[in-house]
Amino acid sequence: MFSTIRRSILTLALLAAVTAASQASAETLINGAGASFPYPLYSKWFSEYAKIDPSVKFNYQSIGSGGGIKQITAGTVDFGASDKFLTDAELKAAPGKLIHIPTVMGAVVVTYNIPGVAKGLKLKSEDVADIFLGKITKWNDKRISDDNPGVALPNEPIIVVHRSDGSGTSAIFTDYLSNVSPEWKDKVGMGASVKWPVGLGGKGNEGVAGQVKNTKNAIGYVELAYAFENKLPFAFLQNKSGSFVEPSIKSTSAAAAGAVKSMPHDYRISLVNQPGKDAYPIVGFTWLLVYEQQKDAVKGKKLVDFLKWELHKGQKLAAPLLYAPLPENVVHMVEKTITTIK
């Protein structure tokens, strides 16, 4: 009797082990790498999607847009992620047709650590450029203090912090600086990696946020979610219409409103320094980079299923994490683009 029960228990245990092993072997691992800008949202998406389809697991490395572009071009990951759209030359260098899939929009904020100065320091665009050019060197410079009456700005050196890695956040920020400052455009230019005139380097949005948080009188630039996560204040920037605007989901969407009406079919578009009194001036799309022709049919199918999910249900998770959902006309365009991935 007991030996029969023991045999039954052993049989059930063996069946459970075999089932678990077969489930583990059936799990599809999809590897991605790139932008730190959308990392808080992508982490949430991947964990939520695991509840929808437990057979797929996403492994995403937040290494910066430059690294994501390199890895997808080399074919060492299943998808890349970038806040900088690829140039024609970069697309040509890829071994297959790479598609840009816009996922959400985000704001790059100018964050700072000035003891006693709360959120809402007002900065003109040309003054931001001059700070990062090393031309405005003290917090109590007349150009800053004139825009902030009643704010006790210290007679202390401004410590500039910028990205040390190839970065889509830097691409958006330097695109903005090139738009508002002819001197910046001529001397430094725009790109994921530039020769910074002054400052300390930090790796990833995480690294810049950490440097600013731990350095008195520092200034840097990060995606909005990182400022909130690190309890860092951020500046209200003067936009193209002359208004000082707080970075938010509403002002991010306002920046995109006009631009996306004529959205290019490949989604390669800049959203910085857009017109409109409510438009925040440093806004960008972030994209997933996916090959139209997938090497692995099973992974390709799983990836397409995920893209369809994030385009609809996933968008609802964007706002709580301070990203702006895609405009409706862009969603319709992306739906068609996703169907071309095979």
Give the domain ranges of the chain: 29-105+285-338, 107-262
- Residue 119 is predicted with a pLDDT of 86
> What are the pLDDT digits (tens) for 119-170?
899 999 999 999 999 999 999 999 999 999 999 999 999 999 999 998 999 9
Q: Please determine whether the domains at 29-105+285-338 and 107-262 fall in the same fold group of CATH.
A: yes
- Residue 250 is predicted with a pLDDT of 96
CA 8 to each of CA 1, 5, 12: distance values in angstroms, whole numbers, following the listed order: 11, 5, 6
> What are the pLDDT digits (tens) for 254-301?
999 888 888 999 999 999 999 999 999 999 999 999 999 999 999 999
> What are the pLDDT digits (tens) for 223-235?
999 999 999 999 9
The pLDDT of residue 333 is above 50: yes
Q: What angle do CA 270, 41, 117 make, to 5 degrees?
A: 75
List strands edge to edge, sheet with 236-238: 122-123, 236-238, 244-245
Distance of CA 69 to the CA centre of its chain: 14
- Rg for the chain, CA atoms, rounded: 23
- CA–CA separation, 289 and 237 (whole Å): 31
3-state secondary structure the chain: CHHHHHHHHHHHHHHHHHHHHHHHHHCEEEEEEECCCCHHHHHHHHHHHHHHCCCEEEEEEECCHHHHHHHHHHCCCCEEEECCCCCHHHHHHCCCCEEEEEEEEEEEEEEEECCCCCCCCEECHHHHHHHHHCCCCECCCHHHHCCCCCCCCCCCECEEEEECCCCHHHHHHHHHHHHHCHHHHHHCCCCCCCCCCCCEEECHHHHHHHHHHHCCCEEEEEEHHHHHHCCCCECEEECCCCCEECCCHHHHHHHHHHHHHHCCCCCCCCCCCCCCCCCCCCEEEEEEEEECCCCCHHHHHHHHHHHHHHHHCHHHHCHHHCCECCCHHHHHHHHHHHCCCC
> What are the pLDDT digits (tens) for 92-133?
999 999 999 999 999 999 999 999 999 899 999 999 999 999
**pLDDT level of residue 16 (50, 70, 90 thresholds):** very low
- Residue 53 is predicted with a pLDDT of 96
Beta-carbon count within 10 A of 249 CB: 20
- Averaged pLDDT, 215-223: 97
**pLDDT level of residue 25 (50, 70, 90 thresholds):** very low
Distance of CA 182 to the CA centre of its chain: 26
- Residue 13 is predicted with a pLDDT of 44
The pLDDT of residue 3 is above 90: no
> What are the pLDDT digits (tens) for 46-59?
999 999 999 999 99
CATH number of 107-262: 3.40.190.10
Fold classified for 29-105+285-338: D-Maltodextrin-Binding Protein; domain 2 (3.40.190)
> What are the pLDDT digits (tens) for 239-256?
999 999 999 999 999 999
Nearest alpha-carbon partner for 36 in 180, 155, 207: 207
Residue owning tokens 């440097």: 211
- Residue 2 is predicted with a pLDDT of 39
The pLDDT of residue 10 is above 50: no
Q: What angle do CA 331, 332, 337 make, to 5 degrees?
A: 90
